Amino acid sequence: MRENNLQDTIAAISTAPGEGGIGIVRLSGKRSLEIAKKIFFRLAGKLKEFKGYSMHYGRILDGGQVIDEVILTVMRAPRSYTRQDVVEINCHGGMLSLQKILELVLKQGCRLASPGEFTKRAFLNGRIDLAQAEAVIDVIRAKTDSALKVSLEQLKGSLSARVNEIRRGLLDILAVLEAGIDFPEEGLGQQDAVKTSRRIAKLDFRLKELLAGASGGRILREGLRVVICGKPNVGKSSLLNALLKQERAIVTPVAGTTRDTIEELIEIKGIPVKIVDTAGILKPRNLIEKKAVKLARRQIKSADLVIMLFDSASGLDNADRGLIREIKNKKTIAVINKIDLKSRIEKNRIAGFFPTVVMLSAKTGKNLRLLEEAIYNFVFQGKQPLPELMLVSNLRHIQSLREAQKLAAQAQALSLEERLSPELITQNLKDSCACLDKILGKDFSADLLDKIFKDFCIGK
């Protein structure tokens, strides 16, 4: 595969497209320094040798023509992002000079890098493992401070260290068991069996511990999709505005004001929340409303959490009851809105249908905080998330950890059986270990790498 070829010298624009103070063209590979030397001319003094971690002020020239005034940063193998020779050309951040410099280095023999190829090289050259490589893009895409913290921990290698530790534990047990299989006459004594079982149980516990923070971690990474639904005029758009703290959606006393769904990203206590306002669900009066209701239903289907809104002032009616039936399989927080008006709904009437009921006023903002707390609790089940337990956030890691844990638990159950069959236990432990290897990228396919890095930006 071309992209797994580490011999080419690759180049790409590493800064975001558009205007900026500075733009960077990055080169990585054996010929980086040689190519940079061909197009770079120092403004003061003569350039002798590029030292690692050095910066040079000068010009990029194409033939005799000045392309831009730049600063060149040189990082030499193996002390660089990719463990290869890396040159970063810091030029003016206009698309034209970036594009021209990129074209120039391509003309001189660089190949255009594919998305994430610099990071892929860091992985293939062993500077970081696969879980760390995946954390790079999560750091870039983090939507909240908490999400950033989790990704930075992963990039630092905290998750990998935990996984490695468990993996080593599994290998140690395997070594003992396999010695027993090789010398069956000695066999595994009762004492050994108990000891083995305890050791597997410990690792099973460690895996469960990592998985305990996984659903929260995943939401921090991907965001929580919250859809506000309810019949017309209960205050859905007002609630969106209140949570957003700005007048985003049109609010009027006229039923049927909202037609298109409105989505906005907000932060609730560190959780990135995609909040979606929908049209009220009631018998549509015309074609537009019919489409709006259809859209609203589709949104409800894709929600991680539904906020079902009731109007305190108008009382519970058949339309509300119909909606309650419609969303009975969704995770829902019920909200009784307009508590600033005379109440005609008792909380108890609704509490039977929903685990959480919040009473608030979208108009005055009263108790809005309680809804934010309810959403937070929905994600973290009322527990304060411990940073050390919030190490997992990537679905691929979660799935492999789950599989590894299941296999370890099976091995542990087998080790308690009277007629111990070491071969079966070792097979389960080996498979469990293989799952952990996948997380770390000790075992990978070109397809997997393609899948992971295709989501990266070019130049990273």
Which residues of this chain interact with ligand GDP, rule CB under 6 A?
230, 232-238, 251-253, 257-258, 280, 337-338, 340-341, 361-363
Least distance CB 273 / ligand GDP (angstroms): 18
Closer to ligand GDP at the Cβ: 235 or 272? 235
Residue 258 in contact with Mg ion, rule: CB under 5 A: yes
Select the residue interacting with Mg ion from 237, 361, 415, 432 (CB under 5 A). 237
Cis status, amide bond into 78, omega within 30 of 0 = yes
Asked if residue 299 binds Mg ion (CB under 5 A), the reply is no
For 269-425, where are the E strands, in sequence order? 271-277, 305-311, 332-337, 357-359
Closest to ligand GDP by CB, 280 or 441: 280
Q: Give min distance, CB of 301 to ligand GDP, in A.
A: 19
CA dihedral (100, 102, 106, 108) positive or negative = positive
Q: Indicate the residue among 97 and 237 with the shorter CB distance to ligand GDP.
A: 237
**For residue 235, which amino acid is it?**
G
- Is residue 420 within 8 A of residue 187, CB to CB? The reply is no
Q: Which stretch binds Mg ion (CB under 5 A): 3-11, 136-144, 155-163, 255-263?
A: 255-263
CB of 265 to ligand GDP, least distance (A): 19
- Residue 180 contact, options ligand GDP, Mg ion, none, Cβ 5-8 Å cut-off depending on partner type: none
In one letter, which amino acid is 124?
L
By beta-carbon proximity to Mg ion, the closer residue of 88 and 277 is 277
In this complex, which beta carbon is closest to ligand GDP, that of residue 196 or of residue 241? 241
- Give least dist CB 130 to ligand GDP, A: 46
* C-beta of 130 vs 307, nearer to ligand GDP: 307
Binding partner of 84, given ligand GDP, Mg ion, none, CB within 5-8 angstroms per partner class = none
Pick the piece of the chain touching Mg ion (CB under 5 A) from 52-60, 151-159, 174-182, 229-237: 229-237
User: What is the distance between the alpha carbons of residues 398 and 338, in angstroms, rounded to a whole number?
Assistant: 41
* Nearest-angstrom CA–CA distance, 306 and 335: 10
420/415 Cα distance (integer angstroms): 6
What counts of helices (H) and strands (E) characterise the chain?
A: 16, 13
Q: How far is the CB of 356 from ligand GDP (least distance, A)?
A: 19
Residue 73 C-beta: closest distance to ligand GDP, Å: 53
Q: Which CB contacts under 8 angstroms, 24+ apart, belong to 378-385?
A: 378/305, 378/331, 378/333, 379/215, 379/216, 379/219, 379/224, 379/271, 380/216, 385/213, 385/216
For residue 290, the minimal CB distance to ligand GDP (Å) is: 17
Nearest to ligand GDP of 9, 361 (CB atom): 361
Q: Which entry of Mg ion, ligand GDP, none binds 132, CB below 5 to 8 A by partner kind?
A: none
CA angle (296 as vertex; 293, 299 as ends), nearest 5? 155
Q: Which two tokens stand for residue 153?
A: 């921990």
Both structure tokens of 262: 């409105």
Residue 28 contact partner, candidates ligand GDP, Mg ion, none, CB within 5 to 8 A by sort of partner: none
Residue 315 to residues 279, 319, 321, 341, 348: CA-CA distances in angstroms? Answer: 20, 11, 11, 12, 13
Q: How many CB atoms lie within 10 A of CB 421?
A: 11
The nearest distance, CB 330 to ligand GDP, in angstroms, is 18
Q: Which two tokens stand for residue 180?
A: 């027993």
Nearer CB in complex with ligand GDP: 82/337: 337
Q: Of the two residues 158 and 237, which places its CB atom closer to ligand GDP in the complex?
A: 237
Q: How far is the CB of 233 from ligand GDP (least distance, A)?
A: 4
Quick one: tokens of 206?
Answer: 């460690």
Can you give the binding site for Mg ion, defined by CB under 5 A?
236-237, 257-258
